[in-house]
Amino acid sequence: MFVRDFRPVRRRGIERLARSRWGEGRSVWSADIANRELTVDSVEVTYEPAPAVIAAVMDLDEETNVCVRRRRFVLDGKPVLLSTPYLPAELVAGTPITQPDTGPGGTYARLADLGHGPVRFREEIRSRMPAHDEVEWLALSAGVPVVLLARTAFDTEGRVVEVNEMTLDSAAYVLEYEFEA
């Protein structure tokens, strides 16, 4: 029998999205992982019609193409997150956002470069048992549920500039939210 020693990710939900973090060229992950080894071992960027739920949130027709960035994040050799951000295609086409490596500060810094940096976020969290492909992609043990986190980013005009659907290995995370009363 082999038991893997894995320290959970303490995902600091508010701190990680602060403009001071990505605006200074740091990854949002830097709030969560200190000096642990994080890799993105799979990146796929496509243009596709917006799924119905994404089209509704972004106020688009379902036939409208969006830029989709599918990624898998691996921390200390363990897959911990599948991330699928959807961005308005007409806003990001031909920009570094459509490249596998978006550059310092990631997608939010690039959106700011375009004059559409996020000023407000909304996150919705739920959980369920994983689909078969999620079990494989996240290398989940039997019976381990996933956490679904849907984040919507808004610019100063209230426009939705990103909807990110994330699937987290529930055993790999502690979700932390600290804020003033």
Give pLDDT tens digits for 125-154.
999 999 999 999 999 999 999 999 999 999
Spell out a b/e string for 104-140, using b for 16 or more CB atoms within 10 Å of the CB, else e: ebbbbbbbbeeebbbeebebeeeeeebeeebeebbeb
On the question of pLDDT at 29 being above 80, the answer is no
d(CA 119, CA 121): 7
What band does 4 get if pLDDT is binned at 50, 70 and 90?
low
19-174: CATH topology is: Chorismate lyase (3.40.1410)
Can you read off the two tokens belonging to residue 74?
């691996």
Q: Is the pTM of this model over 0.85?
A: yes
Answer yes or no: are the C-beta atoms of 104 and 135 closer than 8 Å: no
> pLDDT (tens digit, 9 = 90+) per residue, 61-72?
988 999 999 999
Amino acid 86 reads: Y
Task: Kindly report the backbone phi and psi dihedral angles of residue 70, in degrees, each rounded to the nearest multiple of 5, phi listed first.
Answer: -95, 130
Taking Cα atoms as reference points, which of 79, 171, 172, 53 lies closest to residue 133? 79
Taking Cα atoms as reference points, which of 147, 151, 95 lies closest to residue 118? 151
d(CA 107, CA 18): 13
What band does 5 get if pLDDT is binned at 50, 70 and 90?
low
The dihedral region occupied by 103, where left means phi > 0, alpha psi between -120 and 50, and beta the remainder, is: left
Residue boundaries of the structural domains of the chain: 19-174
